[in-house]
Amino acid sequence: SKTQTLLQVEKLKVAYGGIQAVKGVSFEVREGELVSLIGANGAGKTTTLKAVTGLQSIADGDVKYLGRSIRGQGPWELAKQGLVMVPEGRGTFTRMTIVENLQMGAYTRNDKDGIAADMERVFAFFPRLLERRDQLAGTMSGGEQQMLAMGRALMARPKVLLLDEPSMGLSPIMVDKIFEVVNEIHSQGVTVLLVEQNASRALQLANRGYVMESGLVSMTGSGQDLLTDPKVRAAYLGE
């Protein structure tokens, strides 16, 4: 059977006032894939993710989720349908405990047993969160907050998990841990769209990747092909 396209971005344009940050970007994410979006600072990756999740309005083009345009829908509406983003800078509720943050992730659900099972699953991914379950989120380290943000997103039972720079600002050990869990989440069947400046790690995990440059897609291919491409190596892998 043919794999379903979950997310289809078509000639997307996004502007901030008069400035075009995204100038006609097209890509797709199929069921079960891990797709990485890489590119330099300011290339428009975050803006693209925001438009896909309803946080930023679309100037032109379209975003289709499960075959239907999502234009005009907000982030909560989309999260309820399985399109769930972990924002850059994490966005945890700092005055709530870890458990309360995780419960917030499940706010659209009322299947008590499913929620409890998913909380166990999050604690299995991140034992640190279990150890600190009653600690306030605002008192945790950057890496722990990233774990919590990912855990909270998983509590919404995403069909597509969108991760914006999950490794940013983290220690090397924490970066390893985060990418290990992204890989594990993907192997458990969650479709993932990963935005990263750490091109090497993002492409190692990816089935396919897209390179963004000045608001446009400049290259696409399998993760492996992009990793070995001389232009990608020179521009994004420091060679």
Site residues, ligand ATP (CB under 6 A): 16, 19, 21, 39, 41-47, 197
Q: Considering the complex, what minimum distance in angstroms separates the CB of residue 29 from ligand ATP? A: 17
Q: Considering the complex, what minimum distance in angstroms separates the CB of residue 198 from ligand ATP? A: 11
Find the radius of gyration of the CA atoms of the chain: 17
How far, in Å, CA of 161 to CA of 154, rounded? 8
How far, in Å, CA of 181 to CA of 186, rounded? 8
Q: Among residues 17 and 189, whose Cβ is nearest to ligand ATP?
A: 17
- Give the pair of three-digit tokens for residue 93: 């509720």
Is 138 in a helix, a strand, or coil? helix
Q: Considering the complex, what minimum distance in angstroms separates the CB of residue 39 from ligand ATP? A: 5
Query: Are 24 and 178 spatial neighbours (Cβ–Cβ below 8 Å)?
Result: no
Give the residue ranges of DSSP H helices in the chain.
Answer: 45-52, 75-80, 98-105, 112-125, 127-131, 142-154, 172-187, 199-205, 223-228, 230-236
Q: Considering the complex, what minimum distance in angstroms separates the CB of residue 215 from ligand ATP? A: 7
Q: Among residues 58 and 102, whose Cβ is nearest to ligand ATP?
A: 58
Q: Among residues 8 and 48, whose Cβ is nearest to ligand ATP?
A: 48
Query: Are 22 and 14 spatial neighbours (Cβ–Cβ below 8 Å)?
Result: yes
Q: Among residues 127 and 169, whose Cβ is nearest to ligand ATP?
A: 169
Q: Do β-strands 68-69 and 60-65 pair in parallel, antiparallel, or remain unpaired?
A: antiparallel
Residues near 7 by beta carbon (within 8 Å), at least 6 away in sequence: 28, 29, 52, 63, 64, 65, 83, 160, 193
Q: Considering the complex, what minimum distance in angstroms separates the CB of residue 203 from ligand ATP? A: 16
How far, in Å, CA of 66 to CA of 56, rounded? 20
Q: Considering the complex, what minimum distance in angstroms separates the CB of residue 144 from ligand ATP? A: 22
Q: Among residues 46 and 92, whose Cβ is nearest to ligand ATP?
A: 46
Q: Among residues 101 and 167, whose Cβ is nearest to ligand ATP?
A: 167
